[in-house]
Structure formats: structure tokens, C-alpha cells
């Protein structure tokens, strides 16, 4: 990871099978905790701009709270179409800080 940006601190990360949104500069980031594995992706659903970090985790996917589009938090692909894709970011926890590579 070369261009790391601090998103939050470890104690603010979502609990297992929850998602949470964070501001990161001019971006909104969704951090998802799927069965204890964290991932980071854009917070904006491509369908109608819903906030993914306010959604739920179902079957390993982040589900938008507005219209239930589901997204794979590791690839950014929509469950219904691999051609619909949002950005995902490498995430690591270092000395209590949560860092992503933009």
C-alpha cells in the first residue's frame, strides 16, 4: 500500500455483519464487516445514489437501504450484474488506525 489515508480508528469499525460509512477527504467510504473480515468501497450505490454504509449485510453482500441492490464488498460488483461495479479499496489496521489506499 503506497498512498494510505486514515479513515477512522479501530474502535469505530462496524461489528460483524454490519456496514458503516466514513468521510475520507472528498469521498464517502463504506466499511463492511462480513463475518469478521473488513473491506472498504465507495459508499454510493450506482442505482440511485443510496448510502451503502447505512445498508445491511446479507449473504456476504452489502445491501443498499434504498432499493436493495446488493454489492460484493471484495470486488465491488453488483450481485445482479458483474458489469455494474463500484470502487473497492485496500484496507489495513495499523497501530489502531484504519487506513485505506486511495
pLDDT in tens, 23-34: 998 999 999 999
- Residue numbers in the chain where pLDDT is lower than 50: 1
Q: Check the CA dihedral 72-73-77-80 and report its sign.
A: positive
Phi and psi, residue 22, nearest 5°: -140, 145
- DSSP class of residue 1 equals -
Separation CA 69–CA 98 (nearest Å): 27
Domain 14-91 has CATH 2.102.10.10: yes
DSSP reduced 3-state for 53: helix
Is residue 43 within 8 A of residue 49, CB to CB? The reply is no
What's the pLDDT at 6? Answer: 96
Helices (H), 1-63: none
Mean pLDDT taken over the chain: 95
4-16 pLDDT tens trace? 999 999 999 999 9
Separation CA 82–CA 68 (nearest Å): 16
Amino acid at each position: 500500500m503506497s498512498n494510505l489515508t486514515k479513515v477512522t480508528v479501530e474502535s469505530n469499525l462496524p461489528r460483524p455483519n454490519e456496514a458503516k460509512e466514513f468521510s475520507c477527504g472528498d469521498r464517502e467510504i463504506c466499511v463492511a464487516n462480513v463475518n469478521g473480515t473488513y473491506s472498504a468501497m465507495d459508499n454510493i450505490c450506482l442505482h440511485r445514489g443510496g448510502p451503502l454504509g447505512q445498508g445491511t449485510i446479507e449473504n456476504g453482500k452489502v445491501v443498499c437501504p434504498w432499493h436493495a441492490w446488493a454489492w460484493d464488498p471484495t470486488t465491488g460488483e453488483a450481485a445482479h450484474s458483474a458489469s455494474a461495479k463500484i470502487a473497492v479499496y485496500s484496507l489495513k489496521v495499523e497501530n489502531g488506525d484504519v487506513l485505506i489506499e486511495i
